[in-house]
Structure 1
């Protein structure tokens, strides 16, 4: 009686790394069979195991990879049965701690054949922790440690000279993006109307606005254990009178006020009458507030009339004061 296949091979699908079993059944027990992949005869090895028990013949393919996909045939004499084996990539899930990771600018997942890879870009201290590769029924875990690398100062601060009232920009370049701290002398600077800190990529900048002579000094940029220092010089603008003295007129026994405005606040001005320096007393009251200077002449008499000058450095402004006598009352003859 001729041998027939009672049960033919069935198509199989498996994940990479798994095992595939192809089974067929003949009508006659212990019938010799031959196994083939495509046109290649297979031999027993670590990859292939042949089993035959009674009427059942079995091929076991171990640790399957993409190259194991294809058509497999079992032949018995002139008879044959063929089935297709499909191998799917083993889909892995990556986790940090218990959190599942998604592909992003930070995390790149690669898979080639049986090799799965997680790439962590721009590693930072907070990326340290336990990472797990999970295939669903199996998982493997590893600990990642991040060693912080200090940023190096590639280009230090340069000393700078600037004009009063202007803005000075101090700049340094780092070997990588890193937080920096700015100091003037030993004082840590904070963002304000005076100071603005700017950082773009590896370049750190300190902008100092509305410069005054007191802003001159040593400025330091600190990045980790590294620092760079430069001196800022502020050149004072020459003072000039923004509003000059105006001629004034007063009445005997009254009060006269002379006022002028300078381009900036100064520590002192000098008042003169007809070229002679005046001192504060019961007659003269001198006031200075910010950029404004004022001379008040009290209890006017005719002798107070004359030329008054306000002097600041090599600048001066002059005005004339007229004092009118009190009107006499004439009785009719």
Structure 2
């Protein structure tokens, strides 16, 4: 219940002066309403309203007679009232054409020598009766009035103060006489009233208001009373020293996590509330210094860390530390795609197909290009481009001699070039039998390709994509009368392609073309949507979805790896493949930060891993959520608990959709929204709402087909991370 500690006090003021009405409440920060009579007063121009802690103040500038009346400060049901009385200027004598004003200042040093003993100002117009009357009055005053001058003193001096940066402070002193002019100084500098300084006078009390103090406002302030131009003046000063406590800088823009390609340069940037703040950059717990690898820049309030020539070992958690506050962001460096098997030169005859193959270090690469000479090739019936796993293939159909030249495969900065030679077919006749057939095979099998000629004993050459094959462990060639055979052992994905049997008879070349179509030749895609389901101080439970593409063969299991945040070394979490889509990683060190990644395994091998987007900390404490109905403010446990979880939805294209959940925790958790592992930010398409009861909501204003996917809501505090997820399906119109 709010009470009035100090009531408003009635005041008297001279016309033209400034008046301050003050009261104090029992609680700070509550709204109040100032009134004059029944009229509600607004701040600006005539009135200025201020609040400092529990003290509320109304300043009335340059009061006029009509400003007199009853003023009140109202807060809820509490009301305090005071009366303001305005006094007009005093006139000693006023008559039609002449005015007499008695001055208030008397020079005591010269009063005994002055004929009258004090100064009188006489303003008049040229009328004889006025002049005679003035003389009479002056003589009468001289005979009967004796001036007594009392010196001006400070009844209350200024007091030294301390203030926080950004606050406003008031310096106040009281003179022994009201209405005397004063001068405010900072050191030797005379202060003027304006946006920074506001000066006011209420009877004998003088105040200086300094707005939004900064460290540069520290120093000695003076209030000077006295007229230096008089013959004998009394000058009195009250001084004070002000000490400004600077507020520590805070981050107005945090570091953001980034993912870059190997070899790129990356800039981590944050913004502070103050310029030129001393900073420390760290990777994990290791402090960073400027060198060829790291470039540290600071311009005004912006702080940047530039990492040159990023490599996978640069992945980790980076921190910008001011001493009082820290901002942290994660950097993930993807290995650069490399060509691990180059193109081979191909020689074919006119009208044949030319096949080129190249193998990359990664699967799922899409930013590749095929070139023939200076021409960028497009995928069509004549230029057939395909990929299986890490192998990319180009088949040039029915080539001509004009197409002889260089064939190049380009991906990023990597390039592989081979020569295509197209020869004219010699004219002539030959007795031969041409066979064409397609065959399917399974990885690990053996296969035999054969063709039959019209005559026995003919020398032939077996080729793969124009490259002559040699007998060995992989290939075995046989000839039995008119039948030619090629035996291929232990098939691998790289064995897919076009095979030809070429022979020369009577200077004529004939070909038998066999195409081997190979299945199960790719490793699986990365698992989908990995996340942390729960954790304790020594373990963490991970979960994920199966890959979108299994590589053409069943998933045999999963590989889970982890590393410390300040290390680049990935370590396996198990000895045998994980057979389901959940795994508990144990034996964690309390207080340490970890990163995790998961990869799928099939017969072709282990696919690309997917890394969980957040650093997981194994923290101490009771992490089991209590019953929310038994929660008490003095409980010392920490927890996160989803009271309601997300649910999957199926909505028509163009309709809005809302995902809702309720999460509580101690300390209050930080909530983030993700789609397919990508952090969502509020914009015209996504609206993110929350309230104090723990209700969180993600609204998609108008669903598009591209919005289909898995949506996840994560909650994180010092106890760890909890999450809930749901799938969105969109029905196209």
Q: What TM-score do you get using the length of structure 2 for normalisation?
A: 0.21
Question: Which gives a bigger RCO, structure 1 or 2 (Cα 8 Å, sep 6+)?
Answer: 1
Which structure has the larger Rg? 1
TM-score normalised by L of structure 1 = 0.40
